[in-house]
Structures are given as structure tokens and as C-alpha cells.
Amino acid sequence: MAITDDVLVIGGGLAGATAALAATETAPDARVRLVTAKQSTLRHASGLIDVLGYAPGSEDHGHEQGQKQKPIVDPFAELDTLPTGHPYERVGGEAVRDALEFFDDIAGDAYAGGHTDKNALVPTHGGTVKPTARYPAATADGLASDDRDALLVGFETLPDFEAPLAAAHLEAAGAPFDARGVTLSFPGIVRDDAKVTRYAHLLDRNERVASEAGAGEIGAREALAAAVEPHLEDEPRVGFPAIVGDDRPAAVRESLADALGVDIFEVPMGPPSLPGLRLEDLLYAALENAGVRVTSGVPVVDYETADGAIDHVIVDRNGAEIPHEAAQYVLATGGLVGKGIESGRERVSEPLFDCHVPHASDRYDWFVDDVFGEQPYARFGLAPDRELRPLDANDDPEFRNLRAAGAVLGGYDYAAEKSGAGVSLATGYVAGTRAGEESE
């Protein structure tokens, strides 16, 4: 028996979740389902919502590494200047604004930055800064474009973040405040290779740990504050790597802030990234509230067409092949990292529907020699029309009722532009809205 929905979204990252939420909002009576094959790539993501940090394709070729251009102050003002084929150009600047507003509503207090069109500059765990449009509440007091002095605290068992080095790097990057860094040992961490979630859970649960002063056991939050306190001079804010709580980050920050009398912030980190996982939790809570049916761990393995449209797809549920049919489909399976785009020695492809992926036939034309040069592979993905329907090699839509969103789209380099989350939101929003409209 086929499972029947109005809208079927394939892929459970930022783009897929946004598409499903937008479809439900547009067509409240529609049955919307989201299927995901595996963990989303949000665990790799910093949790920041970048819209546009640098103009695409305007860099000077043959530049010295790392010397390109200045960050964009107002990303929304730049949206109309993007080259044809860029996902933002496809959906238009207004849709990007709408998508950000949509996100702000979903995120509520968990994210900040919506009070202005301007980008914020956020410290990175390497120590420089990056432009971003929205940032988690945990990072709100940590902006580098905020001129208050800061103490950065690293831990000797967390080699990803070397706080004194990050502080020196911020100075080299011209940050408008004094930053100092100290490296401490984290109270209650006994293994040198404990996972980041262990740090977060110690604080979440305020577990009892041995007190530094030898006075028996105290709560982990209190112990951490006591370890930091002697190093604090008169900085009004203290930054930690992004391990400050997993389920209850606001409460942990508040305890630390009360104990130290300063504002507490997190510096976003690389994978596994708690801010990325918190964003994932937020999205899935929203999907549940909106009544979207979510089925995880099930890959789409095949499909059937009728009259130039997708009739149904086949989903593999633990070995059983179940047909899923819907009026409208959204493909949000990710790019090279999420495996929505695959490659072999001869060819780059989209594995579910074999949609056309423009690419050079010689794989030695897929890259340039400067690791941070204009990398053709970074732009691999589907080329859509303005409705976000993937186009075939003749520029005709592959299927009447298939739209694509997020990193499965090509024609932009999200890493260089710092536009990944923004493109996922904007194209997810537009693809989901259109799918919702047409499903009725």
C-alpha cells in the first residue's frame, strides 16, 4: 500500500526542514511528510545563520592566500547584484528577507541578530572573525563587533580551541577590544579524550565534581566559575568554546554569569558542533509542532514517473520497499558533504533522480591549485529555474513537480561567500511555499 501525502520533502537538514515548515504554513490542510536517510550535516555546522559575508566571484585571481576582500556590512543590500544562476538570484532578494523572517519566528529567543540588516562579526575558534546575519543566543554577548573587552577560556583537554592564541589572533584581525586568553583544566573531566557532550552534560546536570579547594564536592557550574574567577580582571564578558550546556544552555550561562558577574558567551566550534545540534533540535521541535510527519533513517531508493512528473518514490524501510506518493516533491538532500551530490572518477551526479549536474568532463578541471582559490567543485549542484525546479541539460525542468533546495543546488560557493544557511533558508522557504501552493 502506498503512503500518500500532498508534499514530500526528501532531506532533513536546514533546507528540508524549512521547506516542510513553509509548505505547512502555506497550505495548513496539506499533509506534509519529511523523510531523511541519515543524520543531517548540521552536526558539522557552526550554528550561525550566514546570509552573505562576501560577494561571490569578485575575488582577485592569483591573490595571496587569505587576502581577498572585506566582509559585507549589509548582505540584503547586495542580493540584487548576484550573478545569474546564483540561488539568491533565482528566488529574488525579497524571498530571502521573507525566509529570514520566517526563521526568526521559528527560532524565537534562541537566535539573535534580527534587529538589524547588518552582519555581525563573530569570533571563530581559530581566532579570526566571520560575518554572519543571525547567531545563537549563546553567542550574542560574544560579537567581535561589540567593543567590550573579553576573557577567553580554553581547556587543556580541548585542543580545538587554544584561548590565548585565539585572543592574539583577534588582536591581529583588528578586533576593537582587548582579548586575553587562559587555558584551564575542566572540573570533572577525567578522560583526556572526553567528548564535547560530556562537558556539556556536566554543566547541564550540574554534576557533583571535586572542588579545587579540596572542600569536598561541589556543582560543576560552581566549580567552573571558581576556576575562572582568579583569572578574571575587569573584562565584562567571558567566552568559552561551544560546550556550555546541551539541553539547558541558557540556564548554564545564567549560573555562570551570576557567579562571575559577567556576561557569558560561546565561540562557535567545528564538528561535532553543539550549536549545530541545538539548531537541529529546534527545527525538529518546530516540525513536530507544525504537524509535519517525519520519518528518519529511510533512504529513497527509486522513483516512477507519469506524464513528466514524479508519480511516486520508493522508500526503503528496513529492507521493505514502500511507495510514497505526493503531489509535490522537494529535494533537499545536501551537497557533496551530505551526499545529495555524488561523484566518481568520470562524472558528478545527483543520485536519486539523476538530475543534471553541470560539471567539466575532465576531473582535473574540478579544482584549482590554491586550496582557497575559486574551486569549481564547491559550486557543483543542480541548476534550477526561478521556481527552483531542477533543469536538464536543455534547460527544461526535469520533472514538473520536483523542486530543489539547499546545498543540492549549484552555482554558488557557500564556503567562500558565507551563504550556506541563508541559501538553505531562502530556497527551502520558496520551494516549500510553492509546493504547498501547488499541492492544493
Partner 1 sequence: MAHDTTVLVLGGGSTGCGIARDLAIRGVDVTLVERGNLTGGTTGRMHGLLHSGGRYAVSDQASATECIEENEILRDIASHCVEETGGLFVQRPEDSDEYFREKLAGCRDCGIPATVLSGREAREIEPYLAEDVARAIQVPDGAVDPFRLCVANALDAERHGARVETHAEVIDLLREGDDIYGVEVRHDSGPGKRTHATPGTTEEITAEYVVNATGAWAGRIGAMADLDVAVRPSKGVMTIMNVRQVDTVINRCRPKGDADIIVPHETTAILGTTDEEVDDPDDYPEEQWEVDQMIDTLAELVPIIEDARTIRSFWGVRPLYEPPGTGTQDPTDITRDFFLLDHAERDGVGGMSSIVGGKFTTYRAMAEEIADHVCAKLGVDARCVTAEEPLPGSKDIAVLEEGMDSFGLRSPIARRSKQRLGSRAPDVLEPAEDEANPVICQCEGVTRAEIQDAVEQSGSDLNAVRIRTRASMGNCQGGFCCQNMANELHPRYDEQTVRDALDELFQERWKGQRHALWGEQLSQAMLNYALHATTMNRDNDPANAPAQVDYAQFDGGA
**Measured distance CA(244)–CA(251) in Å, rounded:** 10
Which residues between 177 and 206 bind partner 1 (CB under 8 A)?
A: 185, 192-193
Interface residue with partner 1, options 124, 401, 427, 433 (CB under 8 A): 124
- What is the rounded CA–CA span in Å between residue 339 and residue 341? 5
Residue 129 in contact with partner 1, rule: CB under 8 A: yes
Contacting residue, 85, 92, 236, 270, with partner 1 by CB under 8 A? 270
Which of 68, 248, 293, 317 forms a contact with partner 1 (CB under 8 A)?
68
Among 296, 415, 437, 440, binds partner 1 (CB under 8 A): 415
Report the amino acid identity of residue 130: K
In the chain, DSSP finds a helix count (H) and a strand count (E) of: 11, 19
User: How many residues lie near partner 1 (CB under 8 A)?
Assistant: 87
- Of 118 and 317, the one with the shorter C-beta distance to partner 1 is 118
CB within 8 Å of 88: residues ≥ 6 apart: 52, 79, 82, 96, 412, 419, 422, 423, 426
Q: In angstroms, how far is CA 290 from the centroid of its own chain?
A: 21
Site string for partner 1, 19-58 (x = CB under 8 A): -------------------------xxx---x--xx----
Task: Give the count of beta carbons closer than 10 Å to the beta carbon of residue 281.
Answer: 13
253 near partner 1, judged by CB under 8 A: no
Quick check: 120 binds partner 1 (CB under 8 A)?
yes
**Which CB atom, from 175 or from 220, has the smaller least distance to partner 1?**
175
Q: Is 159 an interacting residue with respect to partner 1 (CB under 8 A)?
A: yes
207 and 241 in contact (C-beta within 8 Å)?
no
C-alpha grid cell, residue 156: 587543556
Shortest distance (Å) from residue 339 CB to partner 1: 7
CA end-to-end distance (rounded Å), the chain: 23
Report how far residue 417's alpha carbon sits from residue 51's, in angstroms, rounded to the nearest whole number: 9
Identify whether the C-beta of residue 103 lies closer than 8 Å to the C-beta of residue 15.
no
Binding of partner 1 at residue 377 (CB under 8 A)? yes
Q: Is 381 in the site for partner 1 (CB under 8 A)?
A: no
**One residue of 176, 291, 297, 308 binding partner 1 per CB under 8 A:** 176
Site for partner 1 (CB under 8 A): which residue of 11, 13, 127, 219? 127
The least distance separating partner 1 from the CB of residue 104, rounded to whole angstroms, comes to 12
Residue 243: closest CA among 256, 262, 230: 256
Site for partner 1 in 323-342 (CB under 8 A): 335-337, 339, 342
Toward partner 1, which CB reaches closer, 162 or 246?
A: 162
Burial 306-316 (b: 16+ CB within 10 A, else e): eeeebebbebe
| Cell reading at 70 | 572585506
Which residue's CB is nearer to partner 1, number 44 or number 317?
A: 44
Is residue 97 part of the contact set for partner 1 (CB under 8 A)? no
